[in-house]
Chains A and B, each alone.
Chain A
Amino acid sequence: MQDEHIAQEDLILFAMQAMRSHELAAVRLHLDRCAECRRVLAEVNGDLALVAVSVEPKSLPEGARQRFVQRLAADASRVSGAGAAGAISIETKRPARRAAMWIGWLATAASLLFALSLEQKVHMLNDQLAQQQQAAAQQAAANARAQQVLDVLTAPASKRVLLTAANVKPTPTGRAVYLADNGGLVFQANDLGQLAADKTYELWVIPANGQAAIPAGLFRPDAAGSASVVLPPLPKGVPAKAFGVTIEKAEGSATPTAPIILVGAVPAAGE
Chain B
Amino acid sequence: MTELFDRYSGLVYSVALRVLNDPGQAEDVMQEIFFQVWRNPNAFVAGRGSLGAWLAVMARNRAIDSLRRRRPTDSVDDVVLASSCDLGSEVARNRLMEKVRGVLKDLPMEQQKSVEMAFFEGLSHSEIAARTGDPLGTVKTRIRSALMTLRKAISA
Contacts and interface: CB of A to CB of B under 8 A. Distances in A.
Query: Among the interface residues B10, B54, B65, B119, which one has the most CB atoms of the partner chain A within 10 A?
Result: B119
Nearest to A102: B4
B82 A39 contact: yes
Contacts of B49: 42, 45-46, 49
A58 to B, nearest CB: 5
A60 B27 contact: yes
B14 A58 contact: yes
Contacts of B64: 16-17
A55 B14 contact: yes
Nearest to B141: A9
Contacts of B85: 46, 49-50, 53
A135 interface: no
B123 interface: yes
B104 A51 contact: yes
Given A16-B119, A49-B53, A58-B13, A68 B41 contact: no
A92 B38 contact: no
Contacts of B76: none
B156 interface: no
A169 to B, nearest CB: 88
A71 B35 contact: yes
Interface in B44-92: 49-50, 52-54, 56-57, 59-61, 64-65, 73-74, 79-83, 85, 87-89
Nearest to B3: A102
A53 B119 contact: no
A27 B10 CA distance: 33
Contact of B118 (A16, A53, A59, A60): A16
A116 to B, nearest CB: 13
B15 to A, nearest CB: 5
Interface of B: 1-7, 9-11, 13-15, 17-18, 23-24, 27, 30-31, 34-35, 37-39, 41-42, 49-50, 52-54, 56-57, 59-61, 64-65, 73-74, 79-83, 85, 87-89, 93-94, 96-97, 100-101, 104, 115, 118-119, 122-125, 140-141, 143-144, 147-148, 150-151, 154
Given A13-B125, A61-B23, 8 more contacts: A12-B140, A12-B147, A47-B148, A49-B52, A55-B11, A60-B13, A68-B5, A102-B3
